[in-house]
Amino acid sequence: MSVAEVEETKSNLKAWIDQLSDVNMLSLLDGLRAVNSDNFSWDDLSEYQKQHINTGLEDIENGRILSSSEFWSQLKNGR
């Protein structure tokens, strides 16, 4: 990706984030930001984020998973 493409992508992401109202998406993005810091730890996550991570781990342990192709197919079909 060229420097111009990087700057355009950053600008597009900033504009998209500015218009977001979905609390779950904002929490996800904030979690990604935190994970990319040098001193990230489990304790840095909110209780909300920890709860969702634990729910995901329980889903995996109990076989409640989808392959990526199943996920995209369901998303495409509006499920």
Tokens matching residue 44: 């840095």
Q: Which residue has the higher pLDDT, 71 or 79?
A: 71
Q: Picking from 1-10, 23-32, 47-56, which range would have the lowest pLDDT averaged per residue? A: 23-32
Is it the case that residue 79 has pLDDT exceeding 70? no
Structural contact between residues 1 and 9, judged by C-beta atoms closer than 8 angstroms: yes
Give the up-direction half-sphere exposure of residue 35: CA atoms within 13 A in the CB hemisphere: 8
Which pLDDT score is estimated for 11? 96
Above pLDDT 70, what percent of the chain? 99
What angle separates helix 23-35 from helix 47-61, to the nearest 10 degrees? 90
Band (44; pLDDT cuts 50, 70, 90)? confident
Tell me how far apart the alpha carbons of residues 9 and 57 are, in angstroms, rounded to a whole number: 32
